[in-house]
């Protein structure tokens, strides 16, 4: 984890109700017949109970949770689902409350559809935290309001590689963040479907609008 993200986490409030000793979690999961995978234990130890915030954007606050002291004290049955070859657990929501996020026993962050297919958003929660830390740092940058459908991801990737620096700590198999002097370009997976979007930040509104216009002219976005 980057120094930026480590510092950011130290500034975020954490609900002590979710701070639980790892051995107590292992014992609790054994009673629930849930394998205590390293990914679940690391998520609980590092993030459960944290509220991730971005200054000036209270609607983007991400409330993180997994197992609580109350769950363990009462041996509360866990509401878990098995989808494809993974066990998934509810792990967070945002202040607007429209989407529930889940973590798999491998540590991936996802949503899922009524047809019980996983929609993976991040390889690990670390990536999401890195993105929150970076967004908090660039809170005064402008944003192009909409998110756009990526029409030609290969062309976008080639353009970014030629003209931008990849922010590796904010990127993984499902996310890419690129930056140059005046603009930041991000791609990720839509919350409701396994397809990619693109979103743009700029130092000015003009920086954003000019880049979006360029993407439209070259067929990168739809």
104-138: burial string, b at 16+ Cβ within 10 Å, e else: bbbbbbbbbeeeeebbbbbbbbbbbbbbbbbbbee
Average pLDDT over residues 147-175: 96
Q: pLDDT grade, residue 115 (50/70/90)?
A: low
DSSP string, 7-24: HHHHTS-B-GGG---HHH
Q: What is the pTM assigned to this prediction?
A: 0.94
Model confidence at 116: pLDDT above 80: no
**What 3-state class would DSSP assign to 131?**
helix
SS3 assignment, position 203: coil
Q: Which CATH superfamily is domain 3-131 in?
A: SMI1/KNR4-like (3.40.1580.10)
Residue 145 has pLDDT above 90, yes or no: no
In order, the DSSP letters of 60-75 are G-EEE----HHHHHHT
Task: Pinpoint the residues of the chain covered by CATH 3.30.310.
Answer: 141-217
Give the C-alpha separation, 109 to 92, whole Å.
10
| Burial tier of 33 (Cβ tally within 10 Å: 0-12, 13-18, 19+) | exposed
CATH 3.40.1580.10: which residues of the chain? 3-131
How does pLDDT run across 32-65, given as a tens digit for each residue? 888 999 999 999 999 999 999 999 889 899 999 9
CATH number of 141-217: 3.30.310
- Which of 43, 86, 82 shows the shortest CA–CA distance to 66? 43
- For 209, the 3-state DSSP assignment is helix
The pLDDT value recorded for residue 84 is 79
What residues are paired with 89 via a beta bridge?
80, 103
């Amino acid at each position: 984890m980057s120094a930026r993200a480590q510092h950011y986490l130290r500034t975020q409030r954490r609900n002590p109700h979710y701070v639980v000793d790892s051995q107590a979690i292992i014992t609790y999961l054994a009673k629930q017949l849930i394998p205590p995978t390293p990914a679940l234990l690391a998520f609980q130890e590092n993030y459960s109970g944290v509220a991730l915030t971005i200054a000036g954007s209270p609607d983007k606050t991400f409330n993180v949770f997994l197992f609580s002291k109350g769950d363990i004290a009462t041996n509360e049955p866990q509401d878990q689902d098995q989808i494809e070859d993974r066990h998934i657990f509810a792990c967070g929501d945002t202040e607007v409350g429209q989407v529930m996020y889940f973590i798999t026993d491998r540590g991936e962050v996802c949503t899922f559809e009524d047809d019980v297919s996983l929609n993976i958003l991040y390889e690990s929660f670390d990536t999401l935290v890195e993105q929150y830390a970076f967004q908090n740092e660039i809170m005064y940058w402008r944003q192009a309001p909409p998110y756009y459908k990526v029409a030609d991801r290969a062309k976008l990737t080639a353009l970014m590689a030629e003209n931008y620096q990849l922010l590796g700590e904010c990127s993984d198999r499902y996310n890419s963040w690129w930056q140059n002097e005046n603009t930041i370009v991000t791609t990720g997976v839509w919350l409701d479907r396994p397809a990619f979007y693109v979103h743009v930040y700029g130092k000015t509104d003009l920086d954003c609008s000019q880049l979006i216009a360029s993407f439209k002219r070259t067929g990168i976005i739809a």
